[in-house]
Amino acid sequence: MRCSHMIHVEKKQNQITKNKTMKDFEFPLFKTKSESNQTFALDDPMERKKYFAAKAGPEIEKIKEYLDGGNSFLGILLGKKNSGKGTYSKLFMEAVGSEHLRHVSVGDIVRAAHEDIEDPAKKEELANYLKEKYRGTMSLDEAFNALSGRSTSSLLPTEFILALVEREIAKSEHRAIFVDGFPRSLDQVSYSLYFRELMGYRDDPDFLAFIDLPEPIIDERMKYRVVCPVCHTPRNLKLLRTKKIEYDEAEKKFYLVCDNPACGGKRMVPKEGDELGIEAIRDRIEVDDAVMRTLLKLEGVPKIYLRNSIPADVAREYVDDYEVTPGYRYEWDPAKKEVNVIEEPWVVSDDNGKPSVSLLPAPVVVSFLHQVVKVLDL
C-alpha cells in the first residue's frame, strides 16, 4: 500500500503535467509599433512620460477626464506571483496621474495590520473597526493570534482579510482602485465576485485584468532580482539594470547601485531564496494558475488581457525594438578599473516552448490604457 506522502507527490506531479499540456487560453497580441523612428529610454521617468503621450495620448486624456469627473472603477489584477501586477498598476498611475487612483496590495495590508496589533492604541482602533465590520466563524482573538503568528494552526479567514481591505479602501476617498493579491485561492473566487459590494463600490464599473507571463521569464526575474536595502526598489542584474554598476574585486561579483539619490549609492542585494528561481514558489504558481483559469471562464465581468511576451518571429511586426527587454552581462576592465556593460537580445521559450521575447513594462501598460478605455466605454 502506498503511503499518503507518495500519493500526494504523484497527484502533484500529475497536476503539473496537466498544467503543462493543457491548451491555454491564448492572450491576444497588442501592437504598439510606431511608424516613426522615434525612440524612448523607458528606464527614465521623463522619457516614459513622452512615450506614453506618443503611444496612448488620447486614451490617457479620456481616462483623466473620466476620473476628474468624479468617476472611479475597481480593477482586480490577476497574475502569477512576480508577474508584475504592482509594476503595471503603478506605471498606469504614472501615465494618468495618481490623484484619483490607488494601488492596493492585499499582502501589504495584512503586513500593516500585523504591525498595528503590536501597538496597543492601533490594535484597539483596529479591533473596534473589525467588531463592526467583520463577520466570520473565527473569533477576533483567534484571528489576531493568527495574524501575529502566535497561532500556527490557524489561517486567517477570507472574511477577516476582506474586512482589512475594506478598512484600507475606506481611506481612499472613492478613488479608482487596482486590487493586487486577491483572490489568492479558488475558495476565495466567490468572494471576489462580490468584492465591490463589500467595499461600497457597487455603482462603479469593475473589470478583471489578467497578466500572461511565461514561467521561464518569472524564473529569470527571480534568480537575478536585487533590491535596495534602503528604499526597497527592485531591479534585476540581468534584465533591468541601474545606471551605475560596481565590481567587487575581492568577491569577484558585479553589483547594481541604487539610482535613488536619497539612498547614497547603496549596493542592491539579492533576496534570500531567489537563487532557487521559480521552484521556490512552485505551489504558489500552481494556485495562481488555477485561479486565473477559473476566472477566465467567468461571464458578466469585462476582461483585460496584458501579454508580456511575443513570439520572436513576429515581434518586429508588433513592437519597436526598444520596447523589448534586453539581457545584460558585464565585463571588468582591470586596467581602466571600470565595468563594461554588454547589451544582448534576450530570447526565452514561452510555456509552450516557443522562442519569445519579453516586453518591458511600459508597452504592456500602453495596452492596459487602451483596454481600460474600451472597458469603460470612454
- DSSP letters along 201-243, please? -TTS-EEEEEEE--HHHHHHHHHTEEE-TTT--EEETTTB--S
Q: How far apart are CA 61 and CA 64, in angstroms?
A: 5
Which residues are within 8 A (CB) of 227 and not within 5 positions of it... i.e. 6 or more apart?
Answer: 233, 234, 235, 268, 269, 270, 271
Contact 183, 47 (CB under 8 A): no
List CB contacts of 57: < 8 A, sequence separation 6 or more. Answer: none
Give CA–CA dist 279/219, Å, rounded: 8
Degrees to nearest 5, angle at CA 355 with 322 and 214: 85
| Beta bridge pairs of residue 311 | 356
What residue ranges in 27-175 does DSSP mark as E strands? Answer: 74-78, 101-105
Q: How far apart are CA 134 and CA 137, in angstroms?
A: 10
Instruction: Name which of 68-72, 87-91, 174-178, 235-239 the model is least confident about.
Output: 174-178
- C-alpha to C-alpha distance for 94 and 53, rounded to whole angstroms: 12
CA angle 273, 275, 278 (to 5 degrees): 85
Q: In the predicted model, is pLDDT for residue 371 greater than 60?
A: yes
Residue-level pLDDT at 6: 30
Summarised one tens digit per residue, pLDDT across range 177-186 is: 888 876 666 6
Contacts of 22 (CB under 8 A, 6+ apart): none
Name the one residue in this structure whose C-alpha cell is 512552485.
282
Spatial distance between the Cα atoms of 226 and 234, rounded to a whole number of angstroms: 6
Q: What is the pLDDT of residue 40?
A: 94
Question: What mean pLDDT value characterizes the chain?
Answer: 82
CA atoms within 13 A on the CB side of 36: 6
Select the more confidently predicted residue: 205 or 374: 374
Tens-place pLDDT, residues 22-81: 346 788 999 999 988 899 998 888 999 999 999 999 999 999 999 999 888 888 898 888
Residue 259, classed as helix, strand or coil, is coil
- Give per-residue pLDDT as tens, 210-223: 999 888 888 888 88
Q: Are strands 234-236 and 225-227 parallel, antiparallel or unpaired?
A: antiparallel
